[in-house]
Amino acid sequence: MTDAQDSPIPITADPDLDVARDLCTFIDASPTPFHVVQTAIAALTTAGFSAHDETAPWPGAGRWFIERGGALVAWIDEVGQTPLDAVAPFTVIGAHTDSPNLRLKPFPDMGKANMKQLGVEVYGGILRNSWLDRDLGIAGRVTLRDGESTIEQLVLINEPIARLPQLAIHLDRGVNDGLKLNAQTNMAPVWGIGGSTTGDFVGYLAEKLKVVAADIVSWDLMFHDTAPSQLTGSKQEFVSAPRLDNQLSCFVALDALTQVATGAPNRSSVVVVALFDHEEVGSTSASGAASPLLRGIIERSVAARGGSDDDVHRALAQSILISSDNAHATHPNYIDRHEPDHLISLNDGPVIKINANERYATDATTAAVFQQACESANVPFQKFVNRTDLGCGSTIGPITAAELGIPTVDVGCPQLAMHSAREFCGSHDPGYLKAAFLAILER
């Protein structure tokens, strides 16, 4: 439901479904935060961005990106080939690369009842039941011995190698009254027949990587649903995909950034896309929103353009951060779980998220910035408030705002089935969000 009082503009007659189709391609190529970063790098490189090594002296003005594990920050601090002023404001779009999932333990081999299983740790607030009866692949990164040092290698086994079979109803007659799954005892996927032996998985992984098992030192590996993302509904009104929270925001932000890279000749701000890791577990990490990653880039950018510490504060005071993370659409089967005067619809445009207790960083001033961007792009928008007697989630918005002191607005596309292994959103909304981002970045 579009906020009729605040958004008296028509919905775009022919929303761009190509954005939703490209989103599906992006998600299928990116089963882990590390793959999100590599997929992003490919798009940025094509658009003329160059990698910067954090250990090297700061580069000159241009189009750059920094990769740090499962996080990436990309920016443009010039117009044409002319560097911006040292006190130029920053226009930042922030999102996160991680999603709740099942992550492989260091010693994963286990089994019972003549079946081989893999020990996992639950990452983030997953809907545990949504992982049952799905064909699971595994992906992430592995550290390998390389002489006296080590190297990292990405892993993507997009094959149905594992599964979590649900217990038959005949053995749990009360299951429809409430399914409870213990993270330790009920969530170990089955991946083979026979007694489990220590080293089984390492041997399998070594064969896939074409290396010697002894050369595998450590890993960050996680399971993913192998079913492809796709448009669904009688008129392709929906997107069915894993990890929409929050790869949708990552993709749209990158898509908008690469589009403005060759345009907006009158732009007067440094434009930045910051994709952080570990939001789903609190953002407190070297690559999370609570880290000094973004602050360091801003400070070094200002210094490289001849600015002082005082200029950093002057720049931040006139900057804006759009924290983009998906919002809860109103569920038709659970209307009572939503604030009745702020119902949110799929395909009704991006959502401005508001919470008086600072679970979101939006205030009246920053909400107006995003609202005006939507209006200038002829994009509908909505406003979300959580039901007051229910707990409210949070985002990178308040964390980044506290770290930088930068005015921040929390927004995102509406979706259903948040934190499920398979999520659901409108196919028009990614295009709407991109149009709003372009209006922000090109202002």
Residue-level pLDDT at 138: 98
Residue-level pLDDT at 268: 86
Q: How many CB atoms lie within 10 A of CB 124?
A: 16
Residue-level pLDDT at 1: 36
CA distance 193 to 289: 42
Give the pLDDT band (50/70/90) at residue 4.
Answer: very low
The first and second tokens of residue 260, run together, are: 């403005």
CATH architecture of 101-225: Roll (2.30)
Mean pLDDT of 285-303: 96
Cα 194 off chain centre by: 38
Residue-level pLDDT at 9: 36
For 349: left if phi > 0, alpha if psi spans -120 to 50, otherwise beta; the answer is left
% the chain with pLDDT above 90:
87
Q: What SS3 class is residue 128?
A: helix
Q: What SS3 class is residue 357?
A: coil
Residue-level pLDDT at 264: 63
| 293-304 helix and 309-317 helix, angle to the nearest 10 degrees | 110
Query: Model confidence over 189-199: pLDDT tens digits?
Result: 999 998 778 88
Query: Model confidence over 304-331: pLDDT tens digits?
Result: 999 999 999 999 999 999 999 999 999 9
Quick check: 419 pLDDT over 90? Answer: yes
Give the pLDDT band (50/70/90) at residue 80.
Answer: confident
Whether the model clears a pTM of 0.75, i.e. scores above it, the answer is yes
Domain boundaries of the chain, sorted by first residue: 17-99+242-441, 101-225
Query: Model confidence over 215-273: pLDDT tens digits?
Result: 999 999 999 999 999 999 999 999 999 999 999 999 999 999 999 987 766 678 999 99
Q: CATH number for the 17-99+242-441 domain, one of 3.90.1150.10, 3.40.630.10, 3.30.70.580, 3.60.130.10?
A: 3.40.630.10
Mean pLDDT of 65-89: 91
Buried b (16+ CB within 10 A) or exposed e, 376-405: bbebbbbbbbbeeeeebbbbbbbbbbebbe
Give the length of the chain: 443
Query: Model confidence over 10-36: pLDDT tens digits?
Result: 334 356 799 999 999 999 999 999 999
